[in-house]
Structure formats: C-alpha cells, structure tokens
Amino acid sequence: LGLKYFFEEPRNVAAAAREFQQVTELAPYWDEGYGWLSAALEEINQTDWAISSLRQAMRLAPENARYPISLGRIFLRRHDYSKAIKLFRKGISLKPHYGEAEAHLFLAEALVGAGNIEEARQEWQSVMTLQPMYPSFEKLHEEVRHLLNKHSR
C-alpha cells in the first residue's frame, strides 16, 4: 500500500499519504507505516502531521536511527537548530548503518546554523574518517573538504 504512488509516473504523493494512513490504522504497532506516512506528508507540506508520525515511529522503534535523523531534517528546514541538533545526535548515537555520513553532515549544518562552527568542523572531520559505503561516497568527501576549507580557522 502506498509505495506504488511514490514510484509510478506521475507520482501521486497525496494518494500515498492516504494509503499510509490506512496502513497505520490497520497496523498501529508497525513503525515502518508511520515512517512512510511521514515521508509522504512531508512531501505534501503537511510537516506538523509528518512530525507527529515520526514521533510515533520513534516510540515504536526507539532503536531505529532513521526516525530521529528524519525528524531532525524537518527541524533543520524550520531553522529550529537546537531540536535538530538533539535529534541528529540521537540518531548518530544509534549507529545508523547506511546514512551515518549524511547524518553527520546534517548535524554539522544545524551546528553552523546555531553558530557552532568549531563543533561543525568536528562533524565534518568525522565524516572523513568513515569507510566508504557506496559508490558516490567520494562526493561526500569532496563536499566535506569544501566545507572545511570554507570554514577554516
């Protein structure tokens, strides 16, 4: 349910959101339903509802790093840096397997927004120590090198 609307052409994210809402009603203890619902809601600018869905996903699966990182991204876009920073740190502490480098970059972006450049530099440097996990990982390293140069002391 719902996923087909993300991948078919033309995309119908509103229909996906409706179906994911049904999923959460049919399987209220399945965290993935709330995770997918939040992704759809965010795309149709229903961010308050997306936040609520992500919080429910976090309650159901507190060990899943994706949810605090996704929620942090919403708060980052809202320029609520203190909430974003807390959520990114929580997500990183849960040892995300696939998106760890991106989570550090998001955290660094929130730290820059909050005026904590030195802490952001530490996050960028930590990305440089991570092992490549996928073919485009080198692009992340290039981005980090650029950011480190831009914010050099």
For 73-100, write each residue's pLDDT tens digit: 999 999 999 999 999 999 999 988 778 9
Nearest residue to 15 (alpha-carbon basis) of 4, 31, 25: 4
Contact (CB, 8 A) for 34 and 54:
yes
| Residue-range domain boundaries for the chain | 1-62, 65-153
- For position 3, what pLDDT does the model report? 77
SS3 141: helix
Average pLDDT, the chain: 93
DSSP string, 21-63: HHHHHH-TT-HHHHHHHHHHHHHTT-HHHHHHHHHHHHHH-TT
* CATH no. of 1-62: 1.25.40.10
Domains 1-62 and 65-153 fall in the same CATH topology: yes
Q: Hey, what are 152's tokens?
A: 């050099």
Residues 6 or more apart whose CB falls under 8 angstroms from that of 52 comprise none
SS (H, E, C) 66-135: HHHHHHHHHHHHCCCHHHHHHHHHHHHHCCCCCCHHHHHHHHHHHHHHCCCHHHHHHHHHHHHHCCCCCC
**Structure confidence by residue, pLDDT tens digits, 21-62:** 999 999 999 999 999 999 999 999 999 999 999 999 999 999
Architecture label for domain 65-153: Alpha Horseshoe (1.25)
Residue type, 99: G
Contact (CB, 8 A) for 72 and 106:
yes
- Give the gyration radius of the chain's Cα atoms: 17
Predicted TM-score of the model (pTM): 0.91
